[in-house]
Structure 1
Amino acid sequence: MTTIVPTGEMVIGRRGLLKAFLSSCVGLAIYDRGNKLGGMLHILLPEPVSAVPDYHLSYYARTGVPALIEGMIEQGASPQSMEAFIAGGALVDHCSPHDLNLNFAHKTLEITLSCLKKYGVSIKMLEASGVNPFCLTFQLETGMCRIEPILLEKATRRVRKRHVGKDSITKTIERLLPVPQIAFNIGQMLADDDIDIATVAAEIKKDQVLSAKILRMCNSSYIGLPRQIASIDQAIVFLGSKLLLQIVITAQIENIFHASEGGYSLCRGGMFHHALATARLCRALAHEQGRIDPEIAYTAGLLHDIGKVVLDQYIADVQPLFYRMIIDHKENSCKVEQEIIGIDHCQAGLMLAKNWDLPDVLKDIMIYHHSPEIAENNREIVNLTYVADVLTNRFMPGLELEKVDTANLQASLNILGLASGSIYDHLAVMADIY
């Protein structure tokens, strides 16, 4: 069985295949051959800026590496017989001097190596830095480890370009169901100050799948509630109306993204998890910035790439060429989409937004999130979404293949009034999205 180890997570075991997709993040696999026990850690950042709960230890090199080693020791492993395999820390095609400020990988690697040395763990393989993302694959039964560039195999097969007509795109959009009416019903209820909890709960319970997803999201470490939530009624009480509505919309958007899995996604649910990570980061940055509504920012992040749902089936048909042009020619994904199929996901997203009659602010985000410098309206939230998208692609590359031009990053931060150093504090919100 293959297990994807997501950002900020740790897995210890004796059987199965572990994989981590890495760019600026660092992946660490450790194996004890004598005890046939292995583990993998997907490190997001070098060290915490404040005290962290136990379930966040694996986000950071300073706390995660000792946690992995100690966890293996508890299961009978010995540091003296451990071997370490390290990958990641790539800069991923920096396009501007400012982009170097986001390169935390060097410090992450430094702390990782220091922790391994402290425990006396030998390093068997190290493939770090550079500009290409990696896939770290680790077989727990044998300790065999491979470190390979992401998508090397997919990028080698040759296919022809396939321009897609407007009629085909329109038909695809017409087949996509908008966010279900139940989500809007719940939104209207929550906006009514006189509505009672039982009525809202009854509306949610009409959809068993939605109810299950709400409970799953409520009990995630991202929400961080003080107790386990076992019912929709409890969820409403503990979450409050804004957060509950956010979770309802997220659960419904997950269905839309999961309907398309063949083109952009590098793993199951890749497009949705990218959207969710971007949404969380948008919300965190909006809180710091202070002028943008955090809930609107969250929705912006969640929907910014919705055009990919429209194009996914067409990208699937030309997938190797799409990957090869991004990897070999270092083109941003919109240019590649235009060249290969004749339309990019920003344009497709705008078409979908018009079909669904979404607000103008979301239309601007969909069309301009790769080119915020030309947005005339809603400039702050467009730039915020762009910044969050850049960071999500930088630190969580294994979800979907997308190349975002970072040349406008400093200008966007200036517009928002955010300092690059403050970004570090918010990156942990992208973890725990699975």
Structure 2
Amino acid sequence: MTTHTVSSGSFMISTRKPEIMQAFLASCVGVTLFDQNAGIGGLIHLLLPEPPSMDLSWNPKVCAAISIPMFINELCRLGAKKERLQACIAGGALIDPISQADLALDIGGRTAEVAQLILQREKIPIRQIEVGGFFSCCIRLNLTTWETTIEPFVVPTPRATADDYTRPTVRQINDAIEELIPIPQIALKIIRMINDENSSFREIAGEVLQDQVLSARIIRMCNSVSVNLAMKVDSIEKALLRIGEKSLVLMALSFSMNKFIAQASRGYSLCKGGMFHHSVWTARMSAKLAEMTSKARPELAYTAGLLHDIGKVVLDQYMNGAYPLFYRQLQIQGSDLTTAEKDLFGISHTDAGHLLVRRWDIPESIGEAVLHHHEPDKAGKNRPLPHLVYLADLLNSRFVPGHQVNRIDSSLLRKSLEALDLDIGNLPALLADAPAY
């Protein structure tokens, strides 16, 4: 049965068909609404309880106070009757390990409360509610039966033991690096030009225009529903005019890295394309943080966010044999991801990623973000960039779960906020403009 994932800060509506809608929830909240008689229903994926400010530049669908009434109105416009609607609510968890920031903000708890209040005000019965707790979950709406299921979402339990697991040697790690599909030369060129403050986006875009494969993918993306341009784009020159030089360059960089990141498909990814989706979301959030704080150029932060987990591509092939031990360390012992990796592989994905960065001669400013994004205080002169990526990565683990195996030490959050001249109160505004995945 076809399954559609509803991204954060959006809703999806459908008539009856043999398909499923789902959303992966951590601190965020999911609400299903359906009119069984009319054969129509949908799922909304919420990040915040109410608008963070009067500024209208953020996405209104992330906030329960605004988006749930929009969701109800759209269902009724498409044929549902409000008096027949029924609801289910899930999410709003405090994800372990819990930080003081989680307790102070309680974004998920307040979002769930606002959702309940709106549904009660609209006299829509809530058939099922599972909010709070300490674990991620997945909410699913069956579009044939209109049944909603809410199930815990954790790293899948291993089916086998790891009695015969042997830690890879240094030589095996080096051989794994040698055997990887290299990233395209155009990607390396874009990365180096982005790092060079003397290179303009016009110059970088000029390099992209010469790559026929990338140009074709960008044209196809510009004509997709997700971009939603008013006019059909049939040439790379028109794409450049429509989306601008900066967007074209960052889109080209993401596309050029896709094939390389997709090599990590067996161990870390929890769904098809999980690693790539996680990398792009983290890249976009890193860029937004850079814009908010002026601590780094947004395009440099985007690049660092996109590359931050490239070391997982090296270690991914060893995950199958080590998975039971890996599961035990993360889920039972509560180890940080890099600690578990060092115990089992002899090297963390951050160290492996730094080996790749040095091999490809990628600028050290980006290399420090790859190496230190789990421990940003250890970075040298380029310290703001690792802090930007750490915060983006942490927000991803809290609000966009379900893409890949990850566990981040949230006790470093306050230090990162201080390093970026932010405080906990800035997070709702940041989430209001969070990218969809």
TM-score (norm 2): 0.88
1:224 shift after superposition = 8.9
Amino acid at match of 1:378: N
1:366 shift after superposition = 1.4
Amino acid at match of 2:388: L
Instruction: Note the residue ranges of structure 1 that are not aligned, 5 or more in a row.
Output: none
Contact 2:21 2:140 in 1 (8 A): yes
2: CA distance, partners of 1:364 / 1:171: 23
Match of 1:115 among 115, 118, 130: 118
Match of 1:170 among 155, 159, 174: 174
2: CA distance, partners of 1:67 / 1:198: 39
Contact 1:57 1:67 in 2 (8 A): no
Instruction: Note the residue ranges of structure 2 that are not aligned, 5 or more in a row.
Output: none
Contact 1:88 1:127 in 2 (8 A): yes
TM-score (norm 1): 0.89
1:175 shift after superposition = 2.3
Match of 2:411 among 407, 410, 417: 407
- Residue 9 of structure 1 corresponds to which residue in structure 2? 10
- Residue 35 of structure 2 corresponds to which residue in structure 1? 32
Amino acid at match of 2:11: M
Contact 2:284 2:435 in 1 (8 A): no
- Residue 260 of structure 1 corresponds to which residue in structure 2? 264
1: CA distance, partners of 2:429 / 2:233: 28
Amino acid at match of 1:409: L
2: CA distance, partners of 1:339 / 1:330: 14
- Residue 285 of structure 1 corresponds to which residue in structure 2? 289
Contact 1:99 1:409 in 2 (8 A): no
Q: Tell me whether 158-167 or 287-296 shows the greater mean CA deviation.
A: 158-167
For residues 159-198 of structure 1, the aligned pairs below 5 Å read 159-160=161-162, 161-184=165-188
Distance 1:216 1:25, change over 3 A: farther
1:75 shift after superposition = 2.8
Amino acid at match of 1:159: T
| 1:61-93: CA deviation from partner (whole Å, max 9, x where unpaired) | 122212222222223222222221111111101
- Residue 351 of structure 1 corresponds to which residue in structure 2? 355
| 1:306-335: CA deviation from partner (whole Å, max 9, x where unpaired) | 111111222234335433432222221112
Match of 1:387 among 384, 391, 394: 391
2: CA distance, partners of 1:413 / 1:245: 29
Match of 1:250 among 254, 259, 267: 254
1:329 aligns with 2:333: yes
Amino acid at match of 2:75: M
Contact 1:297 1:381 in 2 (8 A): yes
1:233 shift after superposition = 0.2
1:129 aligns with 2:132: yes
Alignment size in residue pairs = 428
Contact 2:93 2:133 in 1 (8 A): yes
1:139 aligns with 2:142: yes
Match of 1:308 among 304, 307, 312: 312
SS in 2 for 1:17: strand
Distance 1:8 1:321, change over 3 A: farther
- Residue 69 of structure 1 corresponds to which residue in structure 2? 72
- Residue 397 of structure 1 corresponds to which residue in structure 2? 401
Q: Tell me whether 411-420 or 30-39 shows the greater mean CA deviation.
A: 30-39
Distance 1:264 1:430, change over 3 A: farther
1:157 aligns with 2:164: no
SS in 1 for 2:419: helix
2: CA distance, partners of 1:62 / 1:116: 11
| 1:390-409: CA deviation from partner (whole Å, max 9, x where unpaired) | 11111111211211001111
C-alpha RMSD over aligned residues: 3.0
Distance 1:192 1:4, change over 3 A: closer
Distance 1:163 1:201, change over 3 A: closer
Amino acid at match of 1:40: L
**Identity percentage over the alignment?**
36
- Residue 203 of structure 1 corresponds to which residue in structure 2? 210
Contact 1:155 1:324 in 2 (8 A): no
1:167 shift after superposition = 1.9
